[in-house]
């Protein structure tokens, strides 16, 4: 049996050389982050910021360590105009005079980090756009719509380390092979079933939800005897990477809607490095990604840390939830 590496797969699918190189740099950063995550308590990096390790040294939070790794590895890419990280307020410009064709990478270095203390899956999410023209090094220059993404993906640090990528030709999954250090192709065509009987939402926010979300979840919980006429299962990982990975594997729907607790900020999840990349992956796998009232990737960004309402997964189910919003 032959094995396909990430590089071989990208080359075989005619990925532009510069993009291939950038994706390889991102994969390297993710392997290094995986290594740090894997060391867990031994590295003294669990828990809140500025904890002490066994030697009594002050440790940085793993979110920050992951961000530094990403900056060091991906920041060295010669075609990179800027990095936009969840952990850094300002845009990290890597070029004085960004040109047409240069890349901007938006990323969440460690997603689901509240799960670290309990040893559950976390991940790294990334979104890539290419500048259409030379731009000034101002924050407004990286407020680029999700429809402009040329690639997106995530690494998942679970029982195994996985890398899931789209370059706009479907969604492919790789698994880290510890012996060789390579990501090897394991899921050549990830696709989301159109229908589902499984939802993911933080139900502790029930009292904060808008009426359409409340009605939708109530109807799911009524099961076979309710409006939906079928029984639903529920999952919530509190790690978007893990929830989306499950949906890309077996279908389902994920909701982190705008509610009265987060409405002031427009929602909880971030548009540029959570909702857009996951939206592109889900659409590329045959699913849908909506705010409840429109396509996520059509949202015109007004800031690079902007938040948004997120409903994504199996296509028919997302359409059904959109109907609840119009009723
Ligand atoms: P992050 O760890 O990058 O801040 O993101 C956490 C996000 C997302 O991964 C997850 O779906 C959601 O926050 C969990 O929120 P709750 O704690 O409200 O469940
Ligand atoms: Mn996150
Ligand atoms: Mn994060």
| pLDDT tens, residue by residue, 239-283 | 999 999 999 999 999 999 999 999 999 999 999 999 999 999 999
pLDDT tens figures, 111-131? 999 898 899 999 999 999 999
Residue-level pLDDT at 49: 52
Residue-level pLDDT at 53: 47
The pair of three-digit structure tokens given for residue 171, joined into one six-digit string: 């969604």
Task: Return all residues near 209 (Cβ < 8 A) that are at least 6 apart.
Answer: 217, 257, 259, 260
From the CA of 115, give the closest atom in ligand 1: 2
The pair of three-digit structure tokens given for residue 252, joined into one six-digit string: 């389902």
Average predicted confidence (pLDDT) for the chain: 94
231 CA → ligand 2 middle, Å: 30
| Mean pLDDT value across residues 147-174 | 98
Residue-level pLDDT at 46: 58
Best of 113, 127, 202 for a ligand 1 pocket test (most atoms within 8 Å of beta carbon): 202
| Mean pLDDT value across residues 129-156 | 98
- CA-closest residue to ligand 1 atom 16: 238
Residue-level pLDDT at 31: 98
Residue with tokens 């639903």: 232
145 CA → ligand 3 middle, Å: 21
Residue 86 CA: which ligand is closest?
3
Residue-level pLDDT at 117: 86
> pLDDT-based confidence at 58, cuts 50/70/90?
low
Ligand 1 and 198: CB distance under 6 A: no
pTM over the 0.85 mark: yes
Distance CA 129, CA 131 (A): 7
Check if the beta carbon of residue 217 is closer than 8 Å to that of residue 199.
Answer: yes
The DSSP H or E segment spanning 230 is none
* Residue 48 pLDDT greater than 50, yes or no: no
All structural domains of the chain: 6-187 (3.30.540.10), 198-326 (3.40.190.80)
Residue with tokens 């394991």: 186
Residue with tokens 């920041």: 75
Ligand 1 and 239: CB distance under 6 A: yes
Ligand 1 and 262: CB distance under 6 A: no
Ligand 1 and 146: CB distance under 6 A: no
Q: What percent of the chain has pLDDT over 70?
A: 94
Ligand 1 and 61: CB distance under 6 A: no
Task: Return all residues near 160 (Cβ < 8 A) that are at least 6 apart.
Answer: 175, 176
| Mean pLDDT value across residues 189-195 | 98
Q: What is the DSSP letter of 296?
A: G
Task: Return all residues near 293 (Cβ < 8 A) that are at least 6 apart.
Answer: 322, 325
Residue-level pLDDT at 76: 97
Pinpoint the alpha helices (H) of 13-101. 17-39, 62-74
Which residues are 163's β-sheet partners?
Answer: 155, 174
Task: Return all residues near 130 (Cβ < 8 A) that are at least 6 apart.
Answer: 101, 102, 103, 104, 148, 150
CA-angle at 46, arms to 40 and 47, nearest 5°: 160
Top-confidence residue, 114 or 189: 189
Residue-level pLDDT at 103: 98
Q: What is the DSSP letter of 274?
A: I
The pair of three-digit structure tokens given for residue 246, joined into one six-digit string: 């499950």
10 CA → ligand 1 middle, Å: 31
pLDDT tens figures, 65-109? 999 999 999 999 999 999 999 999 999 999 999 999 999 999 999
Ligand 1 and 62: CB distance under 6 A: no
Ligand 1 and 53: CB distance under 6 A: no
Half-sphere exposure of 8 (CA within 13 A, CB side): 10
| Mean pLDDT value across residues 136-144 | 98
* Residue 54 pLDDT greater than 70, yes or no: no
- Max intra-chain CA distance, the chain: 62
* Residue 165 pLDDT greater than 50, yes or no: yes
181 CA → ligand 1 middle, Å: 29
> pLDDT-based confidence at 39, cuts 50/70/90?
confident
């Amino acid at each position: 049996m032959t094995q396909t590496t990430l590089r071989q797969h990208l080359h075989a699918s005619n990925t532009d050389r510069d993009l291939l190189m950038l994706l390889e740099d991102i994969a390297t950063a993710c392997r290094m982050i995986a290594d740090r995550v894997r060391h867990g308590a031994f590295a003294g990096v669990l828990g809140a910021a500025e904890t002490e390790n066994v030697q009594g040294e002050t440790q940085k939070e793993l979110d920050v360590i992951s961000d530094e790794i990403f900056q060091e590895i991906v920041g060295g890419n010669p075609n990179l105009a800027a990095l936009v990280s969840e952990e850094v307020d300002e845009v990290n410009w890597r070029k004085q005079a960004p040109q047409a064709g240069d890349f901007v990478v938006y990323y969440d270095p460690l997603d689901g980090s509240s799960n670290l203390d309990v040893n559950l899956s976390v991940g790294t999410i990334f979104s890539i756009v290419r500048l259409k023209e030379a731009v000034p090094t101002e924050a407004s220059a990286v407020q680029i719509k999700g429809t402009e993404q040329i690639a997106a993906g995530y690494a998942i640090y679970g029982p195994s380390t996985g890398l899931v990528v789209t370059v706009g030709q479907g969604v492919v999954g790789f698994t880290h092979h510890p012996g060789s250090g390579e990501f090897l192709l394991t899921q050549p065509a990830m696709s989301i079933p159109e229908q589902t009987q499984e939802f993911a939402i933080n139900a502790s926010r029930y009292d904060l939800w808008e009426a359409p979300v409340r009605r939708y979840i109530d109807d799911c919980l009524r099961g076979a005897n309710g409006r939906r006429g079928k029984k639903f299962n529920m999952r919530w990982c509190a790690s978007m990477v893990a929830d989306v990975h499950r949906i890309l594997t077996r279908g389902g729907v994920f909701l982190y809607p705008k509610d009265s607790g987060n409405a002031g900020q427009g929602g909880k999840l971030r548009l540029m490095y959570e909702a857009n990349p996951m939206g592109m992956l889900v659409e590329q796998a045959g699913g849908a990604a909506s705010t409840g009232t429109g396509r996520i990737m059509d949202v015109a960004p007004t800031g690079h840390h902007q938040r948004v309402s997120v409903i994504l997964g199996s296509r028919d189910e997302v359409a059904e939830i959109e109907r609840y919003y119009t009723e």
